Amino acid sequence: MEKKLITAIYPGSFDPITLGHLDILKRASTLFDKVIIAIAINSEKKPLFSKKTRLKMIKDVTSNIPNIEVDNFTGLLVDYAKKKNAEVIIRGIRALSDYEYEFNMALINRSLEESITTTFLVAHQNYTHLSSSLVREVAGLGGDVSNLVPKNVIEELKRKLDAND
Ligand code: COA
């Protein structure tokens, strides 16, 4: 019997991608045949980085992982997952406080589309305190974020902050 290939979606705003996200993504890439990291474009949010820059930053840091695709989507996550023939949604859990929100989101997504399963991966202990908004805040105030984000993100943060000077 032919082996069934499983595609998983790792959604988020990734504004910007951090080492915590990258850790989840690398783990997911060893568990599933294909992982699509998908930037959710929400017209009500005002991100620091444009869709184009977020896509570029993620492509740069994942170029050495063969089974990862980088994409973006609007609308419902489950509709996008169905369109991409993905059966799994991956979410990282950093602390117990993430769980309630993530649990509700998983239940809503399941009520919208029974065939798609949410899987939680435990964030690396080095990054449980980490979020994109903390990175933006620390970088904006001149702090060192080199142990929180990939190198190319540091460069993009510098470029962005210099441009806003
Ligand atoms: N390492 C570092 N940071 C992490 C992390 C990790 N492992 N896991 C989560 N985070 C942080 C993110 O950096 C982000 O930080 P910020 O709020 O400071 O920017 C925060 O946790 C939230 O994560 P993120 O996944 O980016 O945002 P979200 O929870 O708002 O995204 C979507 C949720 C995009 C998946 C969800 O809104 C969605 O599916 N939208 C599409 C519409 C839809 O289908 N809605 C119905 C279902 S709810």
CA of 13 to the centre of ligand 1 (A): 6
**Distance in Å from the first CA to the final CA of the chain:** 61
Indicate yes or no: pTM above 0.85.
yes
CA of 88 to the centre of ligand 1 (A): 16
d(CA 18, CA 128): 11
Helical segments of 75-150, H only: 77-83, 96-112, 132-140
H/E run at residue 71: strand 68-73
Q: Is the minimum distance from the CB of 130 to ligand 1 under 6 angstroms?
A: yes
Residues 6 or more apart whose CB falls under 8 angstroms from that of 129 comprise 94
- pLDDT tens for the chain, 165 residues: list them: 788 899 999 999 999 999 999 999 999 999 999 999 999 998 888 999 999 999 999 999 999 999 999 999 999 999 999 999 999 999 999 999 999 999 999 999 999 999 999 999 999 999 999 999 999 999 999 999 999 999 999 999 999 988 876
